[in-house]
Amino acid sequence: LASQPAWTGSALRDLNSPAGCPHVNGFKVDNWKQNLRVIYQCFVWSGSAETRKRKAKSCICHMCGAHLNRLHSCLYCVFFACFAKKHIHEHAKSKRHNLAIDLLYGGIYCFMCQDYIYDKEMEQIAKEEQRKAWKMLHGFYSTWEPTKRELELLRHNPKRRRITSNCTIGLRGLINLGNTCFMNCIVQALTHTPLLRDFFLSDRHKCEMQSNSCLVCEMSQLFQEFYSGHRSPHIPFRLLHLVWTHARHLAGYEQQDAHEFLIAALDVLHRHCKDDNGKKANNPNHCNCIIDQIFTGGLQSDVTCQACHGVSTTIDPFWDISLDLPGSSTPFWPLSPGGDGSALNGESHTTGATTLTDCLRRFTRPEHLGSSAKIKCSGCHSYQESTKQLTMKKLPIVACFHLKRFEHSAKLRRKITTYVSFPLELDMTPFMASSKESRMNGQYQQTVDPFNNDNKYSLFAVVNHQGTLESGHYTTFIRQHKDQWFKCDDAIITKASIKDVLDSEGYLLFYHKQFLEYE
């Protein structure tokens, strides 16, 4: 209430008043509830992109044309006007429409009472529509309201634990149980994934399996261990046992691939989660489990017939993006240093290094499939040569990039040590399907919208591999606070600089959407 200056003392008194405002009854006729819901959906909370655009275009003062000045909407007719300049007051007086709604906060103003009012039914509608809008904007994320038990705990424990820059909560080493650094490095990345952390620390998982066989229960326990404040290294023997049980190809004490473990862990977590309907989350395209909400994106594949230029489009879910590197046996697309994409993401070509943007540009470039891979065109009704292009239809909350450093072929097994420069902040806009029309021969010709943050990401974890293909070791850099980085080497955790992170070789890069991230 303190952040909303329009709410006054008398409005607060109405909260406890059994009578409330006597003038709302004149509004409560016919389909008043549905009409009020429409106003909240379209002009106040605006959960979908379509309603946000409509609000931006239509919500201007009908008298002076201003967008700001505390716009209010008349509850009796579609009329928007300024509160600060009293244009809405003039409308209320001339039309005798006594109630208006604040389009910023959703509060309802009565011109007869000359104050913001409280009505239990209206307040309930406002809360329900706000929750719906938050779910549309942030998936599973919604506004938090304390339960009675939580209110009681807050009353008895008024002091809040202060998070300082040197706080070690969440930092905990992991004992190597015998070539298990591949598991430890992924656990460190997952336990420092902001929205995954918030999910597990708020006890959102409701298990319907036997808890001793549920990997989600074990991860929940792991988060509790990490953020308990204990400093001694944790021994993840139960996690290892469950991984061996549910992903048998990873069983044994041989060194495994960290990327393979990540995908296997996400798959088992996904299978052990339940969606909102209480059904098994077997279909990655129709799942509401926490793993899919955070990690699943949509990859669009456009196959264009070279004869009729007809386009066939498919969209497939993905948990990570695997990127080819220069030095591999796969021909790497020649890139000009200092291209627009690199400049966009703050990466430098001054040393001649390949950048993450270069790899993404290669991944999303049009590829001619050749005469040996003709595809039957639905337009031509015959086999034709075609081109294929991959773009991002839907971005995940957490984008994981896998740099393909391990090459396995019939003739060759080796590690590619090519250095790839990657940024602290990444804008994925150029690689979206919506940006495809701005591509010309693999180059970008588009302007960057500084106000559009939906596609912008921040780096929060980097997994590295040292050594050879046969004998190596995994470590992880994780971000604890803004610009506070640490190196996790099994049981040992040391402070790291941003330069240490950006100079590292990089095997798995984890980025989090900026607008859903908070301290």
Whether 512 has a pLDDT exceeding 90, the answer reads yes
So what's the pLDDT on residue 202?
80
Give the per-residue pLDDT at 46.
77
Q: What average pLDDT does this structure show over 396-419?
A: 85
The more confidently predicted of residues 512 and 516 is 512
pLDDT, greater one: 227 or 348: 227
Band (452; pLDDT cuts 50, 70, 90): low
pLDDT value at residue 470 = 75
Mean pLDDT score of the chain? 79
The pLDDT of residue 18? 46
Kindly write down the DSSP assignment for every residue of 237-295, as one continuous string. Answer: HHHHHHHHHH-GGG-SSS---HHHHHHHHHHHHHHH-B-TTS-B---TTS--SHHHHHH
DSSP per-residue string spanning 415-450: E----EE--SEEE-GGGBGGGGGGEETTEE-----T
**Model pLDDT, residue 386:** 82
Residue 422 confidence class, pLDDT cut points 50, 70, 90: very high
Pair of tokens at residue 394: 């839907």
Instruction: Let me know: does 106 contact 122? Beta carbons within 8 Å.
Output: no
Looking at the predicted structure, is the pLDDT value of residue 446 above 70?
A: no
Q: Is the pLDDT of residue 35 over 70?
A: yes
Predicted local confidence at residue 11, as pLDDT:
39
Instruction: Give dist(CA 150, CA 137) in Å, integer.
Output: 26
Question: Tokens in use for 213?
Answer: 């066989």
> pLDDT at position 274, please?
59
CA-nearest of 187, 194, 182, 243 to 215 is 243
Mean pLDDT for the stretch of residues 87-108: 90
pTM of the model: 0.67
Question: How much is the pLDDT for 206?
Answer: 73
**For residue 501, what pLDDT is reported?**
95
* Angle, CA of 375, 378 and 379, to the nearest 5°: 115
146 or 140: which carries more pLDDT confidence?
A: 146
State how far the Cα of 298 lies from the Cα of 177, in Å rounded to an integer. 36
Minimum mean pLDDT range among 380-384, 387-391, 442-446: 442-446
pLDDT at 333 over 90: no
Residues 6 or more apart in contact with residue 254 via CB below 8 angstroms: 179
| Angle between the N-to-C axes of helices 194-201 and 181-191, in degrees from 0 to 180, rounded to the nearest 10 | 80
pLDDT in tens, 209-248: 766 778 888 888 899 899 888 889 999 998 888 888 887 7
Active site residues: 181, 473
Tokens for 187, please give them. 């656990």
Residue 187: pLDDT band with limits 50, 70, 90: very high
In angstroms, the CA 49 to CA 56 distance is: 11
**Confidence check: pLDDT of 169 > 60:** yes
Distance CA 39, CA 227 (A): 42
Long-range CB contacts (< 8 A, 24+ apart) of 438-441? none
At residue 479 the predicted structure's pLDDT band, cuts being 50, 70 and 90, is very high
Domains and CATH numbers, the chain: 22-137 (3.30.40.10), 180-273 (no CATH), 296-513 (3.90.70.10)
Residue 499: per-residue pLDDT: 94
Share of the chain above pLDDT 90, in %: 25
Whether the pLDDT of residue 465 is over 90: the answer is yes
Average pLDDT over residues 316-326: 90
What average pLDDT score do residues 490-510 get? 94
CA distance 90 to 104: 20
What is the pLDDT averaged over residues 327-334? 65
Q: What is the pLDDT of residue 351?
A: 55
Decide if 72 contacts 98 (C-beta within 8 A).
Answer: no
